[in-house]
Amino acid sequence: MDFDFAALLLALTVLTGVVWAIDRLFFHRRRLERAAARGETPREPVLVDYARSFFPVILAVLVFRSFIAEPFRIPSGSMMPTLLVGDFILVNKFAYGLRLPAFNTKILATGEPHRGDVIVFRYPPDPSQDYIKRVIGLPGDEVTVREDKVFINGKPIIQDPIGPYAGGDAESRMLERAGAVVRIEHLDGVDHRIIAIPGLGESRDGTWRVPQNCYFAMGDNRDNSLDSRFWGCVPEQNLVGKAFLIWFSWKGVDHGIDFGRIGTVVK
């Protein structure tokens, strides 16, 4: 069963706020007057006490998470080598417009994705899931992929070879055995590393025209990424935010915390 934390936060905020407001409007003064007449210390009902205590805390979390920044955990290797499994990232929630929590309705336009942005979005075939990829094509672009090489409107995106890929975890060792290489891709001023397996990318070749209000997104691990080459573009209304920082990185019980990745800016 899918769990919508934003909807839960919104429901708790409304519930605690309503309970507290009703008590203040209709019962609080009477309770004080009765206690004063009896010479007693006024006591709030337990439910009201909890509502008054938790409402500002839950509201603050809701506002921060919905309009400022939200944490996410990287569950797969589709964005290697930029993001690794076990990385915890922060996502800028106001980069592409402020949206109502749970309803995802845009209430204020603040910007649009740029080519090269690493975005979190609701997976178009199943919006209950959050995905993370890199923006390659903007509305109106024609994107062509040939053997992991990208062409935008007929112009090739420059990729400089770095060398064979090497890493320490199980997925990295699989990539090494497959002959994966690292390249620097220069995408409209955003220089970032990608992983490709020579000869494997042909099955993902094709040309796509990006519709209006939609974005073509790909993983940096080009031959191990379920992205726009398979399910189409990311609609604007599915955008969640822009990834900007790795705030924690957990490599499992055997390897523990990767302190070297904490504080890394996502680019």
Give the C-alpha separation, 253 to 267, whole Å.
Answer: 28
Neighbouring C-beta atoms of residue 135, cutoff 10 Å? 25
| DSSP string over 1-46 | ----HHHHHHHHHHHHHHHHHHIIIIIHHHHHHHHHHHT------H
Strand order in the sheet with 159-164: 159-164, 181-187, 190-196
Give the C-alpha separation, 11 to 244, whole Å.
Answer: 29
Specify the length of the chain in residues: 267
**Which residues are annotated as catalytic?**
78, 133
